Structure 1
Amino acid sequence: MTLIKPDDAWSLWAVLIGWAAVSILLEQKYDWAAKISGAVIALFGALILANLNIIPTESPVYDAVWSYVVPVAIPLLLFKANIRKIWTESGRMILAFWPAALGTCVGAFVATVLLKNVIPELGKIGGIMTASYIGGGVNFVAMTAVFKPQESLLNATIVSDNLVMAAFFLLYMYIPTLKYFQKNFKILYPDGGIATINTEAETKAAAYWGRKEISLKDIATAMAVGVAVAAISKKLSILLGAVMPGGNFLFDMLKIMVSNQYFLITTITVTLVTIFSDFFENINGAQELGTFLIYIFFVVIGVPASIKEIILKSPALLLFCVIMAFFNLIFSLYGNKFLNISLEESLLASNATIGGPTTAAAMAISRGWSNHIIPALLCGIWGYVTGNYFGLFMGNWLIRILGQ
C-alpha cells in the first residue's frame, strides 16, 4: 500500500524526473553533495521514498526506464567519441590508458577469485565494475542493464564504488607530492603543478564546463539520432542472436557480444561519429541530455533498495572495488613507467578510467597540468568507447568461470 500506485504513471514520472533534477542541482550547488555524488543522492532519495511507502517498489514505469531511457542515453553520451580525434589529439595519454585498463581487468579477476565465496553473482558485478573502471558511470549503467544483478547487490556496489572513487581521487592528488615518486618516476611538473595554474587552463576549463548554446534543432537532432541508434541496435541484436553460431568458447563469446544491444549501440554510434564527425560536432546538448537520462536511471535503481542489505553487503563490495582500483593504479604507474610515460600522465590515465573524463580533466585543472586537460578528457572518452567491450567480455568470462 503506497501513496502513489504502480499504475499511476504520471505521478511516478514526476517523482523520477523531479528527484533526478534535485540530485543534479544539489551536486552542482553544494560541496557536500558533490563529495557524495549526485548518483548516490538520487539512489538514497528513491530508497527513502520507497521505504516510506510513498512510491511503489515495482511499476511498468521503472521497466520503461530500463528498456527505453537507458538505451537512448548511451548513444547521446558517445556523440563526442570521434576515434580519429581521440587518437590524434590525446597524445601519449591514449598509450597511458592501456596499462590502467589492463590493471582493471586483472583486478576484477583477482577480486573475483578472492571473494567468490563471499559475494553472490560476483561475475555480473565483475563485468559491471570492469566497464565502470575503464569508462566510468556511462559504462556502469550500460552493463547494469545487461547483467541485471540483484538490486541489493547493485545498490551496495554503487555506494562502495563512490566511496572508493572518492578515496582514490585524494590518493591521485597526494602521490605527486611524495618523494619516492618524484625521485623514481618521470616528472613533467617539478613543482607539482600547483603554482602553474594559468589563463590557458582556465580558458580550456571554461570551454568545457561553461554554458552551451543549445537550439531546438540540436535537441531534435540529438534525440532523433539517439532513439534511431537504440532502435536499430535492438532489432539488429535480435537478428544476430538468431543467426550467429555457437558451440565453443570463442563462438559463444562472439555471439554474446554481437547479439548484445549495448555492444551494438557503442559500435554503431562510434562508427557514425567517426565517419560523420562534422555533423556530430555541431550538435550541442547531447551530453547534457544523456546525463540527465542517466540520473533518472539512478533514481530507479534506488527504489527497491534496502538500507539493511546495503549496510550488510557494502563491506565486501567495498573491498572488491578497492582491489580493482588498486590494480588499476599499480598497472598504470609501473606499466607506464616501463613505457617511459610521465607520472602525471599515468595518474590522469588511472583517474580517467576509474572516474571518467570529467574527473580526469578536473584533476588536471586543479593541479595546473594545463597541457594535459584536453588529453585527459579524450582519454576518458576513449574509456566510454572501450569500457562496454571490456565489461561484456570480462563479465561473461567470469560468469562462466564461476558457473553462475
Structure 2
Amino acid sequence: MLNSFFQSTLGRPSLISPDDTWALLFVLVVSVALAIYLEQRYTWASKLSGAIIALIFALVLSNIGILPTNSTLYDDIIWGYAVPLGIPLLLLQCNMKKIWKETGRVMIVFLIGAVGTCLGALLAYQLLHDAVPEAAGVAAMMTGSYIGGGVNFAALATQFKVSGGTIGATTVADNLLMALYFFVLILFAGLKFFRSHYTHPHIDEVEKNGLGDSQTQAAAYWSRKDISLKDIALNLAYAVVIVFFSNLISMGIANVIPTDNAILKMCNTFFGSQYVWITTLSMIVATYGETQVQKLNGSQEIGTYFIYLFLFVIGVPASIYQIITQTPALLLFTAIMVIVNMLFCFIGGKLLHFDLEDCILASNANIGGPTTAAGMAISQGWSQLVGPIMLVGTFGYVIGTYLGVVIGGILGA
C-alpha cells in the first residue's frame, strides 16, 4: 500500500506550481520557523535537531505532492545565494588560534574520525561505484558532509555538478542514516559495554547531580542577543565581499592551471573551487580579525538560518519511494562511511585513553556537524563540552570542503 501511494504521487503535478515563487517561499520560511521553534521548545525535537525536522517537513510535503521537486527558488536563490552567503558568516566562528587552544582531546578524536571518513569514502566507492549513480561525486559530497556538515555538502554538490536526482536520493539516504546513528550514539552512552571500557566523567556527573532542563539549555544557546541594524548590514556586506573575491580568485586560477593530466586536473579542481576560497578567506578573517569579528553580532544566527533554508530545499527533490526501490545502494554507501568513521573514533579514543563522551561527540560532529553535536551535548547535560564541540565542528566546515575536493579529484568526479 505504501509503495502504491508513493507511486501514485510520482509524475503528478504538485499542488503548488514551480513558478509560484511566493507560495513556495511561504511554505519554506514557515517550515523553517516551525522547525526552529520545535527545537527550542521540546526536548524530543532538540534531540532530533531543527535541521533534521526542517528536512523531514520538506520530504513529506514533496512526497505527498504539495511541493514541486524543481523550482527557480531552489536552484537560483537558495543554492545560488543563500548557501554561499551562509558559509562565510558561519566561519566567522572559526578562529584557528582559539580552536587549537580550547578544544583539547575532542579535536584529536575528531581528526582521527575525519581520516576514517576519507578512507570510508574510498572503500565505499571501490565496493559500490557500479551500483551508485555519480559515485565519485557522492563520495566527495559525503566526505565533506561527514567531516563538516550541510554547508560542505552544498559546496561540493555544486563544485562537482552532481545532478538534482542524485543529490535528493543521497540526502534521503544520509538523513535516514544520520538520524538513526544519533540515537545509536545516545544508546552507546548508556550501554554497560562502553561504560566498562571507557572513562565517562560527564555521564557520572549528570547521574550524580541530575540532568537539567535540556530544552531550556537549547533555547538558551540561541537566546536573544544585542544586534543592531549596523550589525545586519555589516554581516551581509562581509559575506558578499568574501563570495565576490572568492569567485574572482577561483575563476582566475581555473583559467591559468591546465588540465592536461590527472594531477593538474585535480589542482585545477581544488584551487579553482569557489568554495575552497570562500573557506580560506573566511578562516583568515576569523583568525586575524578577531577583534573586529567579536564586535559583529548576529553572524552565526544569520548564517545558520541560511543553512536551514538550504536543508529544507535539499529534502524537496528526494523521493522516498525511489531511495527504497531504486537506489538502496546509497544507503549502504553512506552506512559504510559512517561505520568506518565510528570505528576510527571509538578505537582511536580507546587507544589514547580518552573519555566516552569525547568519542561520541567527535563522531557526531563528523557525521552531523557542530549544531547536532552541540545539541547532543546539551540534551545529555554535558555542558562543559558544548563550547569545545561547537568549535571542533566549525573547524570541520573548514577542512570538509578541502578534503571533499581532494577525494572527488582522486576519484575523477
Shared fold per TM-score greater than 0.5 = yes
* Helix, strand or coil at the partner of 2:265: helix
- 1:206 deviates by 6.6
Give the Cα separation in 1 of the matches to 2:120 and 2:134: 17
Instruction: Identify the match of residue 137 of structure 1 among 134, 146, 150.
Output: 150
Post-superposition CA distance 1:157-198 (Å, at most 9, x none): 222222222222222222233333333334445737433457
Q: 1:188 to 1:314 in 2, by over 3 A?
A: farther
Q: Is the 8 A contact 2:276 2:401 kept in 1?
A: yes
The 3-state SS of whatever aligns with 1:79 is helix
The percentage of aligned residue pairs carrying the same residue is: 43
Match of 2:301 in 1: 288
Report the equivalent of 1:21: 33
Match of 1:315 in 2: 328
Say if 1:361 and 1:374, in contact at 8 Å, map to a contact too.
Answer: yes
Aligned to 1:44: 59
1:315/1:27 CA distance change after superposition, 3 Å: farther
Q: Partner residue of 2:7?
A: none
Amino acid at match of 1:43: A
Could you say which residue in structure 1 is the equivalent of 2:5? none
TM-score (norm 2): 0.85
> What amino acid does structure 2 have at the position aligned with 1:256?
T
Q: CA deviation at 1:83?
A: 0.6
Measured in 2, the distance between the counterparts of 1:179 and 1:104 equals: 27
Displacement of 1:265 in angstroms is: 0.4
Distance in 2, matches of 1:2 and 1:193, equals 49
User: Taking structure 1 as the reference length, what is the TM-score of the superposition?
Assistant: 0.87
Deviation at 1:150, TM superposition (A): 2.7
Q: What per-residue deviation string (whole Å, max 9, x for no partner) do you get for residues 185-244 of structure 1?
A: 344457374334578x99986763322222211111111101111111111111111112
Q: Of 66, 73, 76, which aligns to 2:79?
A: 66
Distance 1:307-1:348 versus aligned 2 partners, 3 A rule: closer
Secondary structure at 2:204 match in 1: coil
Q: Which residue number corresponds to residue 275 of structure 1?
A: 288
Aligned to 1:244: 257
Q: CA deviation at 1:290?
A: 1.7
The answer to which of 65-74 and 39-48 deviates more is: 39-48
User: Please, which moves more after superposition, 177-186 or 137-146?
Assistant: 177-186
Question: Structure 1, residues 335-391: CA drift from partner, whole Å, max 9, x if none?
Answer: 222233222212221111111122222333333434322211211111112111111
> What is the one-letter code of the residue matched to 1:142?
A
1:360 is aligned to: 373
Match of 1:210 in 2: 223
Residue identity opposite 1:312 in structure 2:
T
How does 1:1-400 map onto structure 2 within 5 Å? Answer: 9-29=21-41, 35=48, 37-44=52-59, 47-48=62-63, 51-52=65-66, 57-59=70-72, 62-189=75-202, 191=204, 193-196=206-209, 208-313=221-326, 315-398=328-411, 400=412
Within 2, Cα distance between the matches of 1:261 and 1:116?
A: 27
User: Any unmatched runs of 5+ in structure 1?
Assistant: none
What is the letter of the counterpart of residue 38 of structure 1? I
Report the secondary structure of 1:57's partner residue.
coil
| 8 Å contact from structure 1 (residues 230, 265) kept in 2 | yes
Q: CA distance change for structure 1 residues 176 and 362 in 2, over 3 Å: closer, same or farther?
A: same
Asked if the contact 1:195–1:368 (Cα under 8 Å) also holds between the matched residues in 2, the reply is no
What one-letter code is carried by the residue in structure 1 that aligns with 2:366? T
| TM-fit CA distance, 1:109 | 1.3
Alignment check: 8 A CA contact 1:192 1:367 kept: no
Aligned equivalents of 2:61, 2:44: Cα separation in 1:
19
Unaligned runs of 5+ in 2: 1-12
Kept in 1: contact 2:185–2:360 (CA 8 A): yes
Moved more, 86-95 or 331-340: 331-340
- Alpha-carbon separation, structure 2, partners of 1:304 and 1:366: 31
One-letter amino acid of the counterpart of residue 33, structure 2:
A
How many Å apart are 1:287 and its aligned residue? Answer: 1.8
2: distance between equivalents of 1:57 and 1:190?
A: 46
* Offset of residue 11 of structure 1: 5.0
